[in-house]
Amino acid sequence: MGEHEVKRIEAPLLAKTVNALRAGMRVAISGTLLTARDAAHKRLVETVERGETLPVDLKRQVLYYTGPSPAPLGLVIGSAGPTTSGRMDPFTPKLLALGVRGMIGKGQRSPEVVEAIKNYRAVYFVAIGGAGALLSQHIVASQVLAYPELGPEAIRRLEVEDFPAIVVIDCRGGNLYERGLQEWKGRASAPGPG
């Protein structure tokens, strides 16, 4: 794949799809995403710890870290940009163990999450922050599945078409943030023109 090519993938994610993704790839996701932010993550983990049944099936799912704004008249959803992923880090390894195979957010992940991504053969995508209105144009349906009392942080099923994202951490631990940092350090320490 060339640097600017976009790989089209389907969600929920098949193992072969996850295995084919590499840090740095641009993707267009079609299919189903589940929204979940920190309040929903906390409730999901607490539900499992109590030995109760989850309100949603997490197997093969992609969790999108967003709390969409209300839908304007005639649209299925309002602005739906990514939130900072680090807030989900305390809960992420447990949800990956339950079958989550992808996450979409923004920002770096903790070393524990990176290890869990490798251990559970998952993938972390980043969507462009500040572009929620544009991203919402790729959402064709939205339905609240669980925790409606959380308002915008309820768990929703989103049907998406060609939702744009970048693979930042792949299932082998390839990490675009780390690679970019190393490249920058290499250029910063290189002698300048003479």
Residues 32 and 145: their CA atoms lie apart, in Å, by: 13
Q: Is the pLDDT of residue 16 over 80?
A: yes
- Average of per-residue pLDDT across 113-136: 92
Mean pLDDT over all residues of the chain? 92
pLDDT over 90 at 7, yes or no? yes
Nearby residues of 126 by Cβ (< 8 Å), 6 or more positions away: 82, 104, 105, 106, 107, 165, 166, 168
41-48: average pLDDT: 97
What pLDDT score was predicted for residue 128? 85
pLDDT band of residue 177 (cuts 50, 70, 90) is: confident
pLDDT of 185 reads: 57
Structural domains in the chain plus CATH codes: 6-184 (3.20.130.10)
Res 13 pLDDT > 90? yes
For position 74, what pLDDT does the model report?
87
Average pLDDT over residues 144-162: 96
CA neighbor of 154 nearest in space, from 54, 37, 8: 37
What would the mean pLDDT of 34-48 be, rounded to a whole number?
97
Please give the structure tokens belonging to residue 193.
């023109």
| Angle 131-136-137 from CA coordinates, rounded to 5° | 105
The confidence score (pLDDT) of residue 166 equals: 96
Per-residue confidence band for 94, with pLDDT thresholds at 50, 70 and 90: very high
Q: Which residue has the higher pLDDT, 25 or 194?
A: 25
Q: Answer whether the bond into residue 12 is a cis peptide, omega within 30°.
A: yes
